Amino acid sequence: MKVAMWHGAGKFVIEEKPDPSPGPGQVVIKVDTVGVCGTDVHITQGLFPATAPSVLGHEFSGTIAATGKGVGRRRVGEQVVCDITSHCGKCANCREWTISRCENSQRSSGALAEFSVVPAQSAHRLPEGLDLETAALTEPASCCLSGSEMWPMPKDAVVLVIGGGIMGQFTVAFLKRRGAKTVILSEPVASRRELGRQMGADVLNDPRAEDLGEVVMRETNGRGVHIAAEVVGKTELVGRCIELTRPRGNVLMIGVCPQKSILPTDMYDFHYREIGLRGAFGRGNCFKRTLHVLPELNLNGVISARYPLERTYDAIYDSGQGRGVKLVVKPNGI
């Protein structure tokens, strides 16, 4: 099979590897669609820990091509979307934190390849009404669904989402579905702002043309928002969320900041106004539930471009440049 092997920085080489065989409790997936994640971009930029050489890609769907011992052969041919890891449900992390941080998890192999090996538990059959391309959005959507549920939604809440990439779009949708009265989306790219309207945003802000603080104060009678979500991964924008949150309001970090980042905020002001700050890293316990939420969303136009496996780096580079909303790679052909 062909794989897009990452060799550090922006270097990807298409290599031939033996077709994989499933071990006990595993399945082999013929990969259909792989979403380019901001984490993939950050890995190539040296901003997220990863070791080369390796095969990247963790947002993916496909068809089960083979099953290992203990997995029924009737699953061959099943269309599935794949979680990154399995879970035991018994360890301290599963019981006290989240199944996505299972201490005994098995990890799916990288998806930027024609085939991937996945724990059978992590290959979820697609529900009716969900196609393979859209299903590949399950992983980022589940991260946002998990994050959106971390703070209670006050009555008549005004919420702010900074960042209109795919994670920002899902955050807009899920906060609106939870009952936010007004959702403000701040995003410099016009096409992303317009998609935000489709996903449920009520107020669109171009931060290059209009000061976000003025927009927030206008929409909240000078009080600040109830919930502010940073969905880019920049510490200065987390600080901006804190500034624009009302007393006893809450800030949600969905964007992944680089390791050893320092939060630039006035800690006295943060303390005085009794602001809540919560990290929301990953899928939580929401992956399987997200599968049944996706068909209810208007996702027309969310996937902006499709790339063959040979253009993996182009897909990652273009994503980092903000070209489109969600870019995907099709390892077995477009």
* Catalytic residue (choose from 33, 42, 134, 220): 42
- Residue 304 in tokens: 């902006």
CA 161 to chain centre: 15
- Residue 212 in tokens: 């976000």
- 176 and 183 in contact (C-beta within 8 Å)? yes
Tell me 306's DSSP state: E
Question: Phi and psi at residue 331, in whole multiples of 5°?
Answer: -60, -30
| Burial (Cβ within 10 Å: 0-12, 13-18, ≥19) of residue 198 | middle
Contacts of residue 143, Cβ cutoff 8 Å, sequence gap at least 6: 167, 170, 254, 280, 281, 282, 283, 284, 286
Local structure of 27: helix, strand or coil: strand
* Catalytic residue (choose from 39, 63, 98, 182): 39
Q: Is 220 a catalytic residue?
A: no
- 159 and 215 in contact (C-beta within 8 Å)? no
Number of other residues whose CB lies within 10 A of the CB of residue 215: 19
Half-sphere exposure of 183 (CA within 13 A, CB side): 30
Q: Is 39 a catalytic residue?
A: yes
* Listed residue (98, 99, 146, 96) closest to 119, CA to CA: 99
Q: With DSSP H G I counted as helix, E B as strand and the rest as coil, what are the percentages for the chain, rounded to 5?
A: 30, 25, 45
Rg (CA), the chain: 20
Number of other residues whose CB lies within 10 A of the CB of residue 101: 18
Q: What are the residue numbers of the active site?
A: 39, 42
